[in-house]
C-alpha cells in the first residue's frame, strides 16, 4: 500500500483575494474487481433486431419483439423486390427506422425513397404501401403506438376506397 500526503494551494476561481489550502491523501488502487454481467431492469426487454426469420423470395416477414397494451414493436424483413400491401393503421401511429437496404414507401399516395438510417413517423390513418427497391434484403424496425382509441392494429386497403 502506498500512502502519500501533500498540501496544495488552490486559488478560488471566483475570488482572487484569498487562497485556500487542502490536504490530499492517496493510496494505491486495489486490484480491479470484475463486475457481474449487467441485468436489464425489470420491465425492460432487450432484443437483437438482426435475429429472426429470414424472408423467402418475394417475402415480407414480421417478427414481433415487444408488445404491450399501447405499443407493438416489430422487425420487418423484406426480400429483394418484396412488396408491402396497401394498408393503414386507424388507431396507431407508426414509426419506421430503416436499418438495412432501400425501400420506397408510398404514404397517402406520395412516394418516398428511403435507405438505411432514415426514420419516418406516420400518424394514425396514413395509407401505406411500399417495396424493397434494392437487390439485398431490407430490414426495418417498426413501432406502433396506440392513439388511445380501441381498435385493430392494421386494416387492409385505404379507408378512402
Q: Where are the beta strands (DSSP E) in the chain?
A: 3-11, 19-27, 60-67, 71-78, 83-88, 92-100, 102-107, 110-115, 119-122, 127-132, 138-146, 155-156
Whether the CB-CB separation of 92 and 122 falls below 8 Å is answered with no
pLDDT at 142 over 50: yes
Q: The domain 60-156 is classified under which CATH number: 2.60.120.10, 1.10.565.10, 2.30.110.10, 3.40.50.300? A: 2.60.120.10
pLDDT at 149 over 60: yes
In whole angstroms, what is the distance from residue 97 CA to residue 139 CA? 9
Per the model's pLDDT, the better-predicted residue between 80 and 14 turns out to be: 80
pLDDT band at 10 (very low <50, low <70, confident <90, very high): very low
pLDDT tens digits along 87-119: 888 888 999 999 999 999 999 999 999 999 999
Whether the CB-CB separation of 155 and 88 falls below 8 Å is answered with yes
pLDDT at 73: 94
Whether the CB-CB separation of 134 and 100 falls below 8 Å is answered with no
pLDDT tens digits along 27-79: 444 555 555 554 544 454 444 444 444 455 568 888 999 999 899 999 999 99
Amino acid at each position: 500500500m502506498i500512502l502519500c500526503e501533500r498540501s496544495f494551494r488552490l486559488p478560488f476561481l471566483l475570488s482572487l483575494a484569498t487562497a485556500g489550502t487542502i490536504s490530499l491523501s492517496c493510496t494505491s488502487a486495489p486490484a480491479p474487481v470484475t463486475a457481474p454481467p449487467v441485468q436489464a431492469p425489470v420491465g425492460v426487454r432487450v432484443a437483437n433486431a438482426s435475429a429472426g426469420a429470414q424472408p423467402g423470395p418475394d417475402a415480407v416477414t414480421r417478427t414481433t419483439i415487444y408488445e404491450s397494451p399501447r405499443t407493438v414493436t416489430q422487425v420487418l424483413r423484406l426480400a429483394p423486390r418484396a412488396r408491402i400491401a396497401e394498408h393503414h393503421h386507424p388507431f396507431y401511429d407508426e414509426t419506421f427506422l430503416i436499418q438495412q437496404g432501400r425501400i420506397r414507401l408510398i404514404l397517402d399516395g406520395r412516394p418516398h425513397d428511403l435507405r438505411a438510417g432514415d426514420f419516418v413517423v406516420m400518424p394514425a390513418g396514413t395509407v401505406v404501401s411500399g417495396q424493397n427497391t434494392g437487390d439485398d434484403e431490407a430490414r426495418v424496425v417498426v413501432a406502433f403506438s396506440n392513439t388511445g382509441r380501441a381498435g385493430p392494429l392494421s386494416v387492409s386497403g385505404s379507408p378512402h376506397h
